[in-house]
A and B are shown apart, each in its own frame.
Chain A
Amino acid sequence: MEEIHDVSDELEIKVKKYQRGEAADLEWLMQTEEGRLEAEGLEKTWRFNQQAIASEVDVASRKNQFDLVLPDLGPYTLDYTSSGRYMLSAGRKGHLSIIDLHTLKPIKDMQVRETVRDVVFLHNELFFAAAQKKYTYIYNREGTELHCLKEHGAVLKLQFLKNHFLLSSINKLGQLHYQDITTGQMIGNYRSGLGRTDVLQLNPYNSVLTSGHSGGTVSMWKPTSPSPLVKMLCHRGPVTAIAFHPNGHLMATAGMDKKLKIWDLRKYEAIQTLPGLAKSLDFSQKGMLATSTGSFVQVLATSDSQDYSRYMIHTMPKGYQINKVLFRPYEDVLGIGHSSGLSSILIPGSGEPNFDSWVANPYETAKQRREKEVRVLLDKLPPESIMLDPTQIGNLRTSRKKEKPTKEEIEAEKAAAVAAVKNVSLKKKTKGRSKPSKMARKKQEGIEQAKRSFVEQNEDGVMKKKQKRITETSELPVALQPFVSRKAT
């Protein structure tokens, strides 16, 4: 018995050691728990409407339910800061506004009198980029135009890679641009070659950009390669929307073929196919998926099983066309940008209840913000660190043989071969056969042979080219082929 006791004690000590002291008290760190709508009996979670929820929640949460009716400047798009405190909204006809969602007061409200196709916050609420009719502009919070990014062209969709400080865009010509906003340097400018699209989404896990195209394909891009990393055929019609789960393993795509697919990006397989159209998709921090069609919003969620099923629905008044749905970080709120304004509804259990002030702090002071800016800049990642599997960084490089050895390598190989032949000690043979002169000649022959093999290699290449040219003309009858002049072809 005692022995057993000792063993258990030792184990405890070891556990403590590997935990590096006492285990973290999660109760203190994660003070609030996430809630969720739970149906009892015959109830269905999607039967609860916003009014029903509003009557149950506290005042602070009720504040998050609102409709902003802005019918004039037409369909609105929106973006939240990473802390979820500020909302940036842009009307198609040039209305830009930043709203502090804690006080629900507009910080800046302005008109650019130009089509605004997309807006995105940069690293904090002080700066944002707007894709306007001709160019993309960067404004500060006061609405001062700081930069005009002409190189991007007429941008349809913007995305900001906050860890790399890259502003990426896809323009009318289907060109992808990556621009470093700290240095202003254009990191990448690639032609997708798949036509015009306004479907562009960032994978938050590995910062790979994903674009959906009219051919039903989805392609993933990184700033250091001109060809897509992955190209998938997801739908039989054009892709209308893409969204990524925060853990980076799940991707949801919607197409014109009336299908909504959820993909496992580790296997590149669709794990679930749902019927229905979706013009806009978004995953929440807790993995809920919002879809919108027309004036109808649907939120899907997983229960214990992996499959996504309907969790909540919300219908806007008839005639409202929803442009974009976006979950607000660290809140159980879904923002909706539609043709006549902005709406915000409560989706219980969608947001992360506990924020990490080192990552994103909704209650950030100006000083904290400044300090964070510096810290984030110091931690800025180089663009080449974007790759499909970021865990590969620091690992051993997989050695792949090159298609063609370089000239120097061939030279080195040749020298090595010659040296090997030179160093071979010849066998002593019968009298007369191992005369010094014969030995020398043999050695010389060996060297020549070693060299010749390399020469032949070179000639091989030349020969191949020649053969190619002849095969082109091989349509003629065999007997006539030798008389074909090169000029004629």
Chain B
Amino acid sequence: MAETKRKTNRAPAKRNKKGKDNKWNKGPHLPNSLKKELDSLNPRDISDEEMQSDDDIDVYEYEEKVPDEELKKNRSIGLMDDEDVASDDEDGEDEGKKGASDEDDEDGDEDDGGDDDDDEKHARMLQDITGLPGDAFDGKKKKNNDVVFEAYPESEYNPSRDVLDGDGRITIDDLLNPLHGKSGFSKIRKDVQRIDKKSKSVLPPLPKPQQEKIDRKSTYVYSKKKLTEYEPLVKKNREAPTIFFDEDIDVGYSTVGAIASEFRPRTEFEKKMDLLINAKELSDAHKSDGARLLELNKVSAEDVKERQDRLAKMRSLLFRHELKSKRVKHIKSKTYRRLLKKDKSKAGSIDTEMDPEAAKELAEKQEFKRAEERMTLKHKNTSKWAKRIKKRGFDVQDDGTRAAISEQLQQHALLTRKRNSMHDGETSSDDSMDDDDEDISGDEDDASKLKLLEKGKKRTLEVLEEDDDVPKSGLLSLPFMVRGQKKKKEAADEEARLALEEFDSSLKQLEGDDDVKNKNIGSLGGRKVFGAQKKQVSQSKIKVNNKDNYFDNSDSEDDGDITEDVKDKHDRINTQKDVTIDTNILREESEVGHDPLFKVSFDDISKDSGPKIEYDVSLVHTNTSKKKRDNKKHSNRVESGKKAKVMKPEVVEPAAKVMKSKVAEPASNKDVDIEHGDDDSDTDGEIRMVDGVITSGTDYELPSQDDLIKRAFAGDEVEDDFEKAKQEVLNEEIPEPEKPVLLPGWGQWTRIQKKRGLPSWMLAEHERAKKKRDEELKKRPDSHLKHVIISQKLDKKAEKLQTKVLPYPFKSKEHFEQSNRMPLGPEFNPATTIGLLNRPEVVKKPGVSIKPIKLKK
């Protein structure tokens, strides 16, 4: 737009030329507002076009000729301007609400003649064709022409023109006028007039932000008040040393009576009972002497009679039933019983057939029976009766008893078989289920078989591996029982192993591919060897054990050794066999396990090892016995020695003491040592030697002159030693500053340098360090005590018993430490104060919830 505007400004002259066409008028420059007023006075005097151009002109004064090409453009712009004007006019129409359509039409004719011509032709054509008045078509068009959209929606930011112009309010009259003459118009107008009379001018609502601001303000004031409401209460609670929460809390009923007294009848029955019990008459009777109670108890004679009759009837019925049942019970006829049972069972079976629940019940019953049978073994000749018969012998019994026993056994068998069958059924069904699953998943018979086999193998292995717990007590712990168990177990193991091998072989057979076969051969072979080995070892063990039974004295450890030896040998055999092992022989080998030849070889081996073992054992035995004897001797000797030792000092000691007293207390280390030796002399052999030398008494030599002098001046050394020790400790705790040294070769080449010596700063530093050390030494508590070293080392472990910083209320260390000296605790303070001081911060009853704070006014 800016460009186009510029262009318009450059070509005012041209415009002037064609001023007539465009109603271009030159006039005095007027401000917009004035023009508007003029406009309102004589609306169509000056076109809006002028206004616009005027606007342009009053800014730009500069005029210049413009090339022709631009003129053309200008014209087009002029056209555009016209259109703008048209739209402006429409606005004007809205303002006045006057039929300005004629003008519009004129404008349209003037401006876009071509278009209008076309339209007229078209209208005429339509008129001709349809025979309708042209207005019908015109209206449509007009409408189309009339609607001109604003660039922006009308709002407070984009006000419409009339709002800007001032008095653009739409009154109700404006709205009503078009309805003039239509039905109901008068009524509406009356209403409106009535409203007008009563109405007051309503102020427009405040802008939203302002409104919100006011809201917030009032809310703040209110909430502030609300919030600070609790402040004093909270403050009080916070400052209180103890808060009590159990002031007036009713925990509830304490007795059953209290609960009962609160009872209110709720259900109908309860109400009825209540009505009877708490009837006014009754209560009155109770309150008075109670004589009336008897009256109230009165029952009519008829009622009593009736009751008696009923009771008598019931009693007689019962009696008869009893009699009957007694008679039935006493019937001894077996046939009757059988028939009765049959009937019952029949009825039961019918029942079961009839309804599934009964069947279920029956099944349950039977299951229970089975369980009972399993538990009690009632039918397995365990009863007293059966045992007695057994004891007496079956042959002696008559046929009836025999039959009974056989029947019983049969029954047991039946029950157990039934159980087995049942379980089998279950398991088989389970298995089949599993199989089904597997079939579905794999759909390969071989695979499932493999799996089955593997499962079986696993089971057998488990059986093999599981340790049988030998009971420690009871019948099973008896030696023969244990032996029997062992045998049984071994047999079972044997069987299991065989089964395992079978599994293995069948597994092998199942493997289709040769490669897989080869691979498996190795592994299977390995496994096989392992199994076989185990078996063999166990066999050898048995053998050895058997052998061991002959040597009664052999120890268990020896047993282990033997078995190990045997094992080694077998290993060798096995390894030899391993070399020749083949896939096809595997199954055969399992049979070889039972081969008598093999056994023989075992026997040989064990036989070979037998005597050796015996020898060893005997050897060991003799050795131990010897040792024992030696020990005994030794101990005897030791004891005797001890006795001797114990005996000696008693004799010798007094002499030693005498000697010591003669020595006249020479204060020396040596003497002390001697004394120590003396102390330990009684049993410590080594020291006794020293003791012996000294206590020998008679050959005591007087100490030499040197020794005497040493002893006499021993104490002097002690002092020096202590001094040294102290210096060491001091040096360790407060290290001495190092002597100032120059690097060798530095500053020492010339004579002058040498003469100068160390630089002064070095010396000064050294001096300072020395002084510092001296000061620290002086600070030590042992500085003025020559004979004392007090360690100033910090004990880190003890540091935790002291505080790092001064606790809050204290200002000085002395004050705090003084306060620490004050004894605390129940021993030093009366119970009343202790109770107050020890009272917890919160006092409440257990089990009572704490309610939120209530505002008290």
Contact = CB atoms under 8 A, between A and B. Distances in A.
B682 A93 contact: yes
Contacts of B800: 384
Contacts of B665: 256, 258, 277
Nearest to A482: B745
B802 A256 contact: no
A385 B800 CA distance: 10
Interface stretch (A141-149, A213-221, A301-309, A415-423): A213-221
Interface string A390-434: 011111110010000000000000000000000000000000000
B667 interface: yes
Interface in B779-826: 782, 785, 787-791, 793-795, 797-806, 813, 816-817, 820-821
Interface residues of B, number: 62
Interface string A43-79: 0000000000000000000000000000000100000
| Residue with the highest number of chain A CB atoms closer than 10 Å, among B714, B793, B800, B805 | B714
Residue among B669, B745, B785, B798 with the highest chain A CB neighbour number at 10 A: B798
B577 to A, nearest CB: 56
A133 interface: yes
Interface residues of A, number: 60
B795 to A, nearest CB: 6
B220 interface: no
Contacts of B821: 391
A317 interface: no
Contacts of B830: 20-21
A227 interface: yes
B659 to A, nearest CB: 14
A144 to B, nearest CB: 23
B715 interface: yes
B738 interface: yes
A385 B646 CA distance: 45
Interface string B650-678: 10001001000000010111011000100
B744 A470 contact: yes
A238 B670 CA distance: 10
Contacts of A109: none
Nearest to B813: A396
Contact of B789 (A21, A230, A236): A230
Contacts of A255: 667
Given A115-B683, A236-B667, A258-B665, A385 B801 contact: yes
A464 B793 contact: no
A256 B748 contact: no
A209 to B, nearest CB: 14
Given A395-B820, A396-B803, A236 B795 contact: no
A185 to B, nearest CB: 14
B682 A467 contact: no
B728 to A, nearest CB: 11
A387 interface: yes
B744 A482 contact: yes
Contacts of A110: none
A474 interface: yes
Contacts of B669: 214-215, 238
A238 B801 contact: no
Nearest to A236: B715
A215 B801 contact: no
A387 B787 CA distance: 21
Interface string A129-156: 0000100000000000000000000000
Nearest to A113: B642
A474 B738 CA distance: 14
B672 A231 contact: no
B561 interface: no
A258 B715 CA distance: 12
Interface in A81-140: 92-93, 114-115, 117, 133
A115 B725 contact: no
B424 interface: no
Given A114-B683, A258-B665, A384-B797, A474 B744 contact: yes
Given A394-B802, A397-B803, A237 B715 contact: yes
Nearest to B711: A237
A479 B746 CA distance: 10
Interface in A234-275: 234, 236-238, 255-258, 268-269
Nearest to A383: B797
B719 A387 contact: no
Given A20-B833, A225-B791, A391-B821, A464 B738 contact: yes
Contacts of A277: 665
Given A228-B789, A233-B788, A394-B801, 19 more contacts: A20-B830, A20-B833, A21-B830, A214-B672, A225-B795, A229-B790, A231-B729, A255-B667, A257-B715, A268-B785, A319-B654, A321-B657, A387-B795, A394-B820, A397-B802, A467-B741, A470-B743, A481-B744, A481-B745
9 contacts: A215-B721, A225-B795, A230-B790, A233-B787, A237-B667, A385-B798, A395-B820, A396-B805, A471-B739
Interface of B: 646, 649-650, 654, 657, 665, 667-669, 671-672, 676, 679-680, 682-684, 714-716, 718-719, 721-722, 725-726, 729, 738-739, 741, 743-745, 748, 782, 785, 787-791, 793-795, 797-806, 813, 816-817, 820-821, 829-830, 833
Interface of A: 20-21, 74, 92-93, 114-115, 117, 133, 196, 198, 214-217, 222, 224-225, 227-234, 236-238, 255-258, 268-269, 277, 319, 321, 384-385, 387, 391-397, 400, 464, 467-468, 470-471, 473-474, 478-479, 481-482
